[in-house]
């Protein structure tokens, strides 16, 4: 899809490599492509199939969806990037919190599994 061809950048203090590992893509302003204006978070079904995107418009913090996944079980955000095993699982409220937690842990030399509720606390 067109979204998959978008770039992954540093965003909200989180390194692009972390966002990339989570499959997140960004749309930028057309002036110099440095200001993130749109963020696309991948949505996976409970079975692991990519079923769409959650789109965030940064200015005004507006959300919409792309794809047909209403009513189907969904994975936690970041679950598709998880390895099996491990002794610690950190669950946070949303996609941006997932990235922030992973960055905080990476800054401290930790590589724990972090997932987020894909549609916030209302999930």
Per-residue confidence (pLDDT) for residue 42, from 0 to 100? 95
The label of the residue with tokens 């610690």 reads: 88
Per-residue confidence (pLDDT) for residue 8, from 0 to 100? 84
Per-residue confidence (pLDDT) for residue 1, from 0 to 100? 57
Phi, psi angles (nearest 5°) of residue 6: -70, 165
DSSP 35: S
User: Which stretches of the chain drop beneath a pLDDT of 70?
Assistant: 1, 5, 30-32, 120-123
Q: Alpha carbon of 13 to those of 9, 37, 65, 68, 90: distances in Å?
A: 10, 15, 24, 31, 19
Tokens of 56: 């965030």
User: Cα–Cα distance between 106 and 96 in angstroms, integer?
Assistant: 15
Sorted by sequence, the CB contacts under 8 Å of residue 95 that are 6+ apart come out as 22, 24, 39, 41, 54, 56, 77, 116, 118
């Amino acid at each position: 899809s067109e979204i998959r061809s978008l770039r992954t950048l540093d965003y909200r203090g989180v390194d692009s490599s972390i966002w990339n590992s989570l499959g997140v893509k960004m749309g930028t302003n057309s002036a110099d492509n440095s200001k993130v204006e749109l963020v696309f978070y991948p949505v996976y079904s409970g079975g692991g199939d990519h079923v769409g995107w959650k789109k965030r418009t940064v200015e005004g913090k507006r959300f919409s969806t792309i794809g047909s996944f209403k009513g189907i079980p969904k994975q936690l955000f970041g679950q598709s990037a998880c390895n099996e095993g491990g002794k610690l699982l950190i669950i946070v409220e949303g996609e941006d919190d997932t990235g922030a937690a992973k960055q905080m842990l990476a800054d401290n030399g930790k590589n724990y599994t972090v997932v987020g509720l894909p549609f916030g606390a209302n999930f």
